[in-house]
Each structure stands twice: as C-alpha cells, then as structure tokens.
Amino acid sequence: MIAADTFERTIRCKKSLFAIFSGTVFLLVMSAALPARAADTTLSGSAACLALQAKYPVLKGKTLVDALNPHTPGYEALDPNDPSHYIGFDVDLAEALGECLGFKLAYKPVAFAALLPTLQSGQADLVISDIYATHERAKAADFVTYSKVFDGVLVVKDNPKHITGINTTLCGDTAAENTGFVEVPLVQNLAPECKTAGKPEPSLQLYDNNADCIQAILAGRADTYINDVNTVDQAVKAYPDKLSKAVAVTLPYSIGIAIAKTKPELRDAIMAALIEVQKAGVETALLKKWALDAGSLEEPQILKQ
Amino acid sequence: MSLFLHYLTLPYLLTGIGFTLEVTALGLAGGLVIGVLLAGMQLGRVPALAAVARGYAVIFRGTPLILQLVFAYDALPHIGLTLSAAAAAGLALTANEAPFIAEILRSGVIGVEAGQILAGQALGMTPFVLMRRVVAPQAIRAIVPALGNEAVTALKNSSLASVIAVPELTLRSTQLASSTFDFFSIFFASGLMYLMLTGAVSVLQLLIEATLDLDRGKKRAWFGWRVPGRQARVAPAVAAPLPTRGADRPAAAMAPAVPKPHQKAIHRSGRDEGEVVVDVRNLHKRYGDQIVLDHVDLNVRSGEIVALLGRSGSGKSTLLRCICHLEEGDAGIVRVGGRRLGHGEDGRKLTPREIARERANLGVGIVFQHFNLFAHLTAQQNIAGPLQWVHGLSAADADDRALSLLRRVGLEHRADALPRHLSGGQQQRIAIARALAPNPNVLLLDEPTSALDPELVEEVLDVIRQLAEQGGLTMLISTHQLRFARDVADRIVFLAEGVVKEEGPAHEVLAHPRHPLTARFLRVMGAEQLADIPR
C-alpha cells in the first residue's frame, strides 16, 4: 500500500519534472525565436499586445467581470493565506489576458451551474472557471478553448469498489457530481450498458461545489467523484489516508473561456490575446506554477453555435 | 480547536457578517413596508385591492426564495434593471418576506376585540385614530413574538443569497472550505456566528416584549406613543367644561357621587314637553332571513329616560346600535337631534371618517353589555384618551375630567388600573364614565348589567340611578332589571319579535301590562322583583 502510494508520487513527481523541463525548453525556444521580446518581457509591453490594444481600444482601462466557481484549488479558489482574493491557474490566465489587452478584472463567485446564466444576464463579461467547452454549452455562450481535459476518478482509499473510469465498473455505485458538470450525462448514459450486463445502474448525487462532492465520499454517501485530474489530486493530497485517485481518463473536451454571444468583439480579442499569451510561453509557465500537466496545453479555438 | 478559533476570528468571515446583516436588514425593512401595504389592502374596503394583495401572497409565498433570488439577479437585467448582488438579494428577500409579515400584521389587527373597535367608533374616533390609538398599540404587542420569529427566519434565509454571489457569511464559508479543505472548523465557526446573530435577535425581541409589557409598572416607555393619563395628577375641584350641545344641557352635572337610597321610584314630571331628540321611524332590519326590527317607531324626548324591555333576541341591542349608527337599518329613518346619522344633507352616505366626526358632534354615547374598554389603557386613559383624540382637549384637561368622572363613579383610586385588573362592575362603571365624558345629549345603555355577576349588578345600577336623579340626560336603557326600570324609567317600551308591542309610563306598564306578551315577560322575569309595586 505504501509502496503503491510512493510509486504514484514518484510518477507524479516525474511528471512535474517533465513539465518543468518541457516548459523551460519551450521558453528557451520561444525566446530564441523572438529575440525582440528580450527587451521587454512583460505582456503589456509586447509589440503584439500593443497592436491588440490598438485594435480593441474599448477594452483598455476597463474592468471586466470574470464569473468563477471558486471551489477548485489549482484553478480557482480563495487564497488560504489571504482569503480576500482568488488564486489559481485560471485567475493568472485571466490576469495575463488582461495585461495583454489592457483591462483589469473583478471576480464574481457563483455556483457552477450559474456560471453561464450569470454571463447571459450580463452580470459578467467572461467566464474563466475550468469549464469544459461542450456543444451543449456553446448554445449558451461562445467559447475560446485553451486546454485539454484530463479527468481523475476520486474514490475511497484504495478503491474498494474497483472503479476504473466512466464504464461498467460504476454500475450499482454512486457518483457525486456537481450540477451542470459534463460528467453527469456521461454517468447517466451508462444505464443501458449496465442493464445489458445485468447490473444495477449507477446513481448520481448532485452538489453545488467540489467541497460538497468530496465530503460526500468522506461521509460514505458516494463512491466516486469524477472531475478534473488536478482537483482530484488536490483532494487526495488533503486526505491522503481517506481518498485515492483510481485512474485518470481523457475526455473529448477542451477547457474554454466563455463569452456572451452578444460580444463577438470581446471573444475575438480574447482569442487573439490568448494566442499571444501562449506564444509568449505564459500559459506553459502557469501550468508549471500550478503543478498542472503541461501536456494539457492546446492551441486556442473558437467554439460557437 | 485552534483552527476553529482561527476561523472564528478570521476577518474574512467576520466581514461576511456585514453582508449577511445588510441583506437581512434590506429584506426585513422592505418586507415591513410592503407587508403594511398588503395587510392594509386586505383589511380595507376595496375588494379589488384585497384580491391583488391575495394574488401577490399566492405568488411570493408559494415560490422558493432561491428562485426569487435568481430571478432578481439574472432575469431583471434582461429588462434593463441591473441591481448589485446585495440589492438584488435585498429585493428578493423583501418580496418574499412581505406576504409573511402582512399575515402577521393582519392577525394582530384581527386579534383586537371587535367590541373595542365598536366602542372606539361609538366614541367618534375616525378610522385613522382608531387604528393608531386602539388597534395598533394592541396589535403591535401581539405580533412582536411572530415578528421576532420572522426576523430570525430572514437572517437564516439570507444565506441563500450565496447563490447569487453576495459575499455573505455562507458563501465565504463554502469558498474557504473549498480552498483549505478545513470543512468542519469553518462550518462550526460560521454556525456559531449565525447563532450569535440569531441569539441577538431573540434578546432584542425579549427586550421589546418586556418594554411593551403593560404590567411592567407605571413608568412604562411607550416608544413614543403619546398617551394621556401620564401627567402629574392634580385633582381638580371642578371638572373641565366641555362645549355644551343642547341648550338644556348643563355644562357640568358633575357633582361628587352621593350614595342615594333607591327605595323610591324617581318620578319626574314635565318630560312630555321636551323636544324629540331620538326619532325612529319605520325602522326595518334583517339579518339574512331573520327579521330583527320590523318597522319600529320610537320617539324619545329630551331628558326622558326610557327602558327597553324584551327577551334576548327581541331586537333591543340592534335598535340601540341603529340609533348611534353602529348598524344601519335596511329601511326607515333614524334621527338624533334632528340629524340623520350616516347621511349628508343631500341623503348621500357619509364616509366612515365623516360619520365619526358627526357622532362626536351629535353627542350620542353608548354603554355596551361587555364594557368594551380599551384593554391596553388604564381606567383614566380609557376616559381621557377619546377626549383628547376626538374632542381635542389638552392632555391636562382630559386627565382632569377623567379623574373627576372616575370620582363620580367611585373609582378614583383605580385610575391607573388596567381593565383586566378590574372587576366587571368596575369596568362597566368606567365604561359609563367614558361614555359620559364628552357630555352626550343621549346615552344609550345596552343591557349594562347582563354580563355581570349578580353581586356586582347593584354598583352599576347605582351609578345609573344617580345619573337619572341628576336629570337632564336623555337615556335609553335596555335591561332585564325590572325593579331598576321601575325606579329610573319615565317610560317603558316593550319589544318582542322586532315589534314594539306596548309602551307607556313605567309604573303603568309594569303594574298593568296590556299586551299578553308583556304580561308573560314580566311574569317570567320574576314577579318577585316587583312585589312592592303598588297596584
């Protein structure tokens, strides 16, 4: 048991080392390719960003409202040392985009299921909150994607139910999920498969945030919680004696920045800025800073319907 | 434990309390304003407004607060109304609290005895004065516990504002728990904070209850309610005069009470020459299928004392109430002092406010079977209050007059007693003093001793006898006390089945009833009462 744990940690450690290594290489390559940047390393001073600021002057000096569901340490959560502000990869990414385009950010914490409605009602300008850009969601908002999705399967310590992913090993088990998560329909869709296999279908418990889902497993109410692998890792780190990560799975989604359909100009500006942020190696550096898998970096794309 | 203490004193959570209180205060204050409006609409006389208020209650009491919050926050911007998160939460809580508070207010108002409202109307109070001086002070006392309850509920409900990004205590707690994983320390800390807040509301409620407690002692704080009877009392030698109405009314028939033997009938003469002050013509009244007054005619002359006899249900009370327009006949005309109460010169029906003013001017007092004293006022305040609020006397004059009237009914020593601390007989004596206070031309007494224990009857009858002896006051008394009727009445009117069956000089009707129903009534009511009536 200890051996397995150590093994896993070693693997993760190796992954992080790899991330640091690849990030560094990437930065080196980028700086070599763009020698002009050596003079001014800040995004706001880069020629590309200055050009964008000139192209989208309405954004400069403005304060945009970023709706987030701050229950995902690593992506967005309160700073435990100073709860008056939010920290995480998404927050840093938002600030980088703001730096490039010249806007400031205010954060609005809402429930996960309320992220897109908040955007639609005009109470927020954008959503950068570890939200997966699905075609369903693209009906409510346009997305600019920035990362691949890797999910982890959080289970009770040592996986007594032998769950190996969103498959028939979940039959008869209870999964805790957040309302509005893409994993919800995936688990629901297992029902016919379980039936064919002569097993009871999996049941779902819907909560409002990661904390409640994790508590559901700790309290013995749920068997698993499937979410972004980093979130799962953080939970295991917080409760190493009670929780395990069964496995990581890849989902066919990208993580995206949501922008109201009524603001195509803002969407295009974000898209352009994201390209620059990635080019400057900032996203990679942030993945490293927040100990996220550098392999999840993805070229930006616009998803709209 | 140290983590718990850390979170209990964490400024981030403590400042969240500010938002919790802000949303709660907005919701309660707004809910109170809208609640008063809704309660008023439902209690008012306009059916359409009542229906609107009811419809509002159905919608906002019948849908979850969380939906109303999301609506105020996410839907209103679509019609161009973008409120801050805290304002949207305050609005939703206001909309949600209003129907609950309205029902609390309504129950408080309905809970005030109908008899007291009748008495207030009879004393000439306008609806506003009645609400402010009689209904509201009692209703407010009654609803404090329920309002305290509602305040605690609103405080806890404010936690739902976390779904629309109000950075209040619950939202901050859950976010902090997500980032630190210290679930239980954080939730115990915020739970304790909520307990302290709700505990403070409970303490406040108890303090208000104690302050409003009528039995708290003489130095009560009334939250600004100006109530007569609080001034330093100087017993006046002479009662403060009121403007007299009738030419034949002495300004002050306020001689100190003198115990008067009543073995002898008080027979006065010359009543027939007085002008007619009460003129009832062809009065008809029915409740549903039951005819209560069947085309009644009745004249009472100035200074005359008329006893209305008849079995319970014969229409006596209804007749008296129609005379002072607390009830209105279906047909027929009632004139008092030549004026038709409740109707303008052109025959138009008056508003309740105009009727109140007319009652006060016309001078018709009524004493009820069940006293109907204002339960929240002392004996002296019961008398002085209406003088001040209706007749515009200064507080000092009203108090002086109240005191002299209390002396007259032998209850000066109970001036500061609340009605509930007085016997029925004492209450009725005060009710008589209250009715006499504005110097009425006509005093109606509706079975003034029927609700009393037998041993208390005489003290009340004594007071009325004294009034009769002093003369000058026109009185119409419905009673079952035959001996008393014989002693004080000039004339007896016998009612049965809503019809005047017989009337005539008191001793004649009592001794020689002509109508068989009168005879039977007198027999049933106890011939022994009349054993000494000369035949």
Give B220-253 pLDDT, tens digit per residue. 444 444 455 444 444 444 444 444 443 333 333 3
A138 lies in the same domain as A104: yes
A51 lies in the same domain as A99: yes
> Which chain A residues are closer than 8 Å to B163 by Cβ?
110-111, 114
Better pLDDT: A4 or B60: B60
pLDDT bin (cut points 50, 70, 90) of residue A8 is: very low
> Which chain A residues are closer than 8 Å to B178 by Cβ?
70-73, 77-78, 209-211
A80 lies in the same domain as A102: yes
CB contact under 8 A, A238 and B181: yes
Dihedral angle of Cα B336, B337, B340, B342, to the nearest 10 degrees:
-70
> Which chain B residues are closer than 8 Å to A66 by Cβ?
none
Q: A-B interface: how many C-beta pairs under 8 angstroms?
A: 78
In this structure, are residues B468 and B475 in contact, taking their beta carbons and an 8 Å threshold?
yes
A242 lies in the same domain as A265: no
pLDDT at A298 > cutoff 50 = yes
Residue B85: closest CA among chain A residues belongs to which residue? A123
A298 lies in the same domain as A184: no
A41 lies in the same domain as A27: yes
pLDDT score recorded for residue A40: 45
pLDDT score recorded for residue B264: 37
A75 lies in the same domain as A163: no
pLDDT bin (cut points 50, 70, 90) of residue B77 is: confident
Q: How far is B198 from chain A (nearest CA, A)?
A: 25
pLDDT score recorded for residue B153: 96
CB contact under 8 A, B12 and A84: yes
pLDDT at B278 > cutoff 60 = yes
User: Which residues, in sequence order, are bridge partners of residue A131?
Assistant: A256
A245 lies in the same domain as A260: no
Q: Tell me the three state secondary structure of residue B270.
A: coil
A72 to chain B, any CB pair closer than 8 A? The answer is yes
Residue A117: closest CA among chain B residues belongs to which residue? B74
Tokens of A147: 């990362």
Owner of token pair 């014989």: B486
Domain extent at residue A181: 151-252
Q: Give the model confidence (pLDDT) of B87-127 as tens digits.
A: 999 999 999 999 999 999 999 999 999 999 999 999 999 99
The rounded distance, in Å, linking the Cα atoms of B160 and B2 is 29
In this structure, are residues A235 and A244 in contact, taking their beta carbons and an 8 Å threshold?
no
ipTM for the whole complex: 0.73
Least CB-CB distance to B78: which of A118, A121, A209? A121
Strands B442-446 and B364-367: parallel
A33 lies in the same domain as A126: yes
CB contact under 8 A, A70 and B179: yes
**Local structure of residue B216 (DSSP, 8 states):** G
pLDDT bin (cut points 50, 70, 90) of residue B259 is: very low
pLDDT bin (cut points 50, 70, 90) of residue B527 is: low
pLDDT score recorded for residue A214: 92
Tokens of B33: 């304003």
Q: What is the CATH number of the domain that holds A184?
A: 3.40.190.10
Residues 6+ apart with CB under 8 A from A141: A116, A119, A120, A127, A258, A259, A260, A261
pLDDT at A4 > cutoff 60 = no
Alpha helices for B71-129 (secondary structure H):
85-110, 114-122, 127-129
pLDDT score recorded for residue B476: 95
A86 lies in the same domain as A232: no
- Give chain B's mean pLDDT: 86
The CA R_g of chain B, rounded to the nearest whole Å, is 30
pLDDT score recorded for residue B270: 42
B2-213 CATH fold = MetI-like fold (1.10.3720)
A170 lies in the same domain as A239: yes
- Give chain A's mean pLDDT: 86
pLDDT score recorded for residue B246: 39
pLDDT score recorded for residue A170: 94
Q: Over pLDDT 90: what percentage of chain B?
A: 66
Among the listed residues A59, A175, A178, A83, the one whose alpha carbon sits nearest the alpha carbon of residue A129: A178
Domain limits, CATH 3.40.50.300, in chain B: 271-363+440-530
A204 lies in the same domain as A275: no
The rounded distance, in Å, linking the Cα atoms of B444 and A182 is 81
Q: Model-level pTM?
A: 0.78
CB contact under 8 A, A109 and B171: yes
Q: Give the model confidence (pLDDT) of B437-489 as tens digits.
A: 999 989 999 999 988 998 899 999 999 999 988 888 999 999 988 989 998 99
> Which chain A residues are closer than 8 Å to B171 by Cβ?
109
A123 to chain B, any CB pair closer than 8 A? The answer is yes
Residue B70: closest CA among chain A residues belongs to which residue? A114
> Which chain B residues are closer than 8 Å to A121 by Cβ?
73-75, 77-78
Which B-chain residues 422-451 have CB contacts (< 8 A) with chain A? none
The residue type at A131: I
Q: Give the model confidence (pLDDT) of A95-149 as tens digits.
A: 999 999 999 999 999 888 889 999 998 889 999 999 999 998 999 999 999 998 8
pLDDT bin (cut points 50, 70, 90) of residue A38 is: very low
In this structure, are residues B423 and B452 in contact, taking their beta carbons and an 8 Å threshold?
no
Q: What is the 3-state secondary structure (H, E, C) of B146-165?
A: HHHHHHHHHHHHHHHHHHHC
Q: Over pLDDT 70: what percentage of chain B?
A: 87
Q: How far is B195 from chain A (nearest CA, A)?
A: 23
Domain limits, CATH 1.10.3720.10, in chain B: 2-213
pLDDT score recorded for residue B151: 97
Least CB-CB distance to B179: which of A80, A84, A122? A80
pLDDT score recorded for residue A23: 52
Domain count of chain A?
Answer: 2
CB contact under 8 A, A110 and B164: yes
pLDDT at B141 > cutoff 70 = yes
Residue A68: closest CA among chain B residues belongs to which residue? B165
Phi, psi of B461, deg, nearest 5: -60, -35
B271-363+440-530 CATH fold = Rossmann fold (3.40.50)
> Which chain B residues are closer than 8 Å to A290 by Cβ?
none
Q: Give the model confidence (pLDDT) of A188-234 as tens digits.
A: 999 999 999 999 999 999 988 888 899 999 999 999 999 988 889 88
The rounded distance, in Å, linking the Cα atoms of B44 and A173 is 59
Residues 6+ apart with CB under 8 A from A224: A153, A154, A155, A161, A163, A170, A173, A174, A175, A176, A217, A246
The rounded distance, in Å, linking the Cα atoms of B461 and B25 is 56
Q: Give the model confidence (pLDDT) of B295-322 as tens digits.
A: 999 999 999 999 999 998 889 999 999 9
Look at B60-69, B248-257, B274-283, B383-392 and tell me which has the smallest mean pLDDT: B248-257
